[in-house]
Amino acid sequence: MKHISNRVQNIHSSGIRKFFDLVLGVEDIISLGVGEPDFVTPWHIREACIYSLERGYTSYTSNWGVLELRELIADKLRGDYGVEYDPEGEILITTGVSEGMDLVLRATINPSDEVIIPEPGYVAYKPCVILAGGMPVTIDTRIDNDFKATPEEITSKITENTKAIILNYPNNPTGSTMKGSELEEIADIAVEHDLLVISDEIYAKLTYEGTHTCFSSLNGMRNNTILLNGMSKAYAMTGWRIGYACGNREILENMMKIHQYTMLCSPITAQMAAVEALRNSDDSLRKMVTEYNRRRNLIVKGLNSIGLHCFEPKGAFYTFPSIADFNLKSEEFAERLLREEMLAVVPGNAFGNAGEGYLRCAYAVSREVLNEALSRLERFVGRLG
């Protein structure tokens, strides 16, 4: 096509998008395909946002974001993980983690730089690396290792061009988490090969067993890590688009340069809501996490009893069951499930080749929907024999 740049022609639309178009044509579906909380943003946050509008907070903010918000984030990170970031110069408010990821890649990647991405992984990482001019190098994590990236797999992909590695634990789409000791081994590799680690920890608060380890809290990693996080998943604030990037002052300054020319600042209304969320949400957060955990137990038991083998995800709100016993490709399975039972799930291959043979089933749905979905799945699987 004549007006489209070569760079963009090199990336494909997300497999999720393709499946979404299919779903649009089907009526009365129920869906385990949604990648966001089913809770509406807690009322006290919405209310604080309305109040900020009434008081006339409608202007631009500092390019770095509202200082009060950055200070609250610094406090949280210190309290939760013992990591110190200066609200002035080491924390940047972004328009979701999506923007943060784009900024860090564009600020650090040179042509032919390689970026290691464990798969199955979030759909945006590969395209973002390509758009930044870099080369994505994927590693295939395995179900028998609970979809964790191993030091051996990472080391085997390191070349003289390797610049960075993207980690996302708790993980979308698998729900996998990594322990501090396991991350420590990756930190050692990063130090040895002088790699930048981009750690997308958007699901950190949704950790059900053990405690979340913030990658930059690991020995020697503070200056080699760009920590990305945000409000979306923990506070049920996906549509507000508030994320943040923390790290080394020099990298942050350069990310901010791109941000000031392309985004200017994140919407002030959403930043004001985020201030309230960080101040007063402990209770609503705890309630949501408790409820997700109950559903997690329900769906994991349910899937395994139907014969969709699924390892126990310890974070996020996804399960990633295997369909190996049914002799169907992920897409074929998901399409037939959609047509025959009006149940939407996401085919695992949307998250990379390593996801072939799996489905992503999100349990961010009510228990009624969850139970109905499981009985539809059971009926479908029963027919497959």
Of the candidate spans 3-11, 120-128, 251-259, 272-280, the one that interacts with other proteins by CB under 8 A turns out to be: 120-128
Q: What is the rounded distance in angstroms from the CA atom of residue 283 to the CA atom of residue 276?
A: 13
| Inter-helix orientation angle 367-384/330-341, to 10° | 110
Q: What is the rounded distance in angstroms from the CA atom of residue 368 to the CA atom of residue 33?
A: 16
Using CB under 8 A as the criterion, what x/- string covers residues 366-385 for binding other proteins?
A: -x------------------
Residue 51 lies near other proteins (rule: CB under 8 A):
no
Q: What is the rounded distance in angstroms from the CA atom of residue 289 to the CA atom of residue 277?
A: 15
Contact yes or no for 39/237 (Cβ under 8 A): no
The phi, psi pair for 165, rounded to 5°, reads -135, 135
Residue nearer to other proteins on the CB measure, 194 or 368: 368
Residue nearer to other proteins on the CB measure, 78 or 294: 294
The phi, psi pair for 359, rounded to 5°, reads -130, 150
Residue 342 lies near other proteins (rule: CB under 8 A):
no
Measured at the CA of 72, the angle between CA 71 and CA 75, to 5 degrees, comes to 90
Burial code (b: 16+ CB inside 10 Å, e: under 16) for 369-385 equals bbeebbebbbebbeeee
Residues 140-179 that bind other proteins (CB under 8 A): 172
Residues 3-32 that bind other proteins (CB under 8 A): 14, 16, 19-20, 23-24, 29, 31
Q: Which of 63, 67, 68, 124 binds other proteins (CB under 8 A)?
A: 124
Q: CB 182 → other proteins: shortest distance, Å?
A: 24
Of the candidate spans 63-71, 143-151, 180-188, 290-298, the one that interacts with other proteins by CB under 8 A turns out to be: 290-298
Q: Which of 76, 249, 301, 379 binds other proteins (CB under 8 A)?
A: 301
Q: CB 89 → other proteins: shortest distance, Å?
A: 31
Closest residue by Cα to residue 242 from 213, 264, 275, 285 = 275
Tokens in use for 332?
Answer: 């074929």
Residue nearer to other proteins on the CB measure, 85 or 125: 125
Residue nearer to other proteins on the CB measure, 35 or 313: 35
Residue 286 lies near other proteins (rule: CB under 8 A):
no
Q: What is the rounded distance in angstroms from the CA atom of residue 330 to the CA atom of residue 321?
A: 11
Q: CB 23 → other proteins: shortest distance, Å?
A: 5
Q: Which of 10, 112, 223, 290 binds other proteins (CB under 8 A)?
A: 290
Q: What is the rounded distance in angstroms from the CA atom of residue 130 to the CA atom of residue 261?
A: 21
Residue nearer to other proteins on the CB measure, 70 or 241: 241
Tokens in use for 25?
Answer: 């044509």
Residue nearer to other proteins on the CB measure, 30 or 191: 30
Q: Which ranges of 233-356 would DSSP assign to H, the alpha helix? A: 249-262, 268-280, 282-306, 330-341
**Which segments within 141-191 are labelled E, that is strand?**
162-167
Of the candidate spans 35-43, 79-87, 102-110, 177-185, the one that interacts with other proteins by CB under 8 A turns out to be: 35-43
Residues 232-271 that bind other proteins (CB under 8 A): none
Residue with tokens 């609250």: 72
**Which segments within 141-217 are labelled E, that is strand?**
162-167, 196-200
Residue nearer to other proteins on the CB measure, 231 or 344: 344
- In the complex, the residues that contact other proteins under the rule CB under 8 A are 14, 16, 19-20, 23-24, 29, 31, 33-36, 38, 40, 122-124, 172, 290, 294-295, 297-298, 301-302, 344, 346, 367
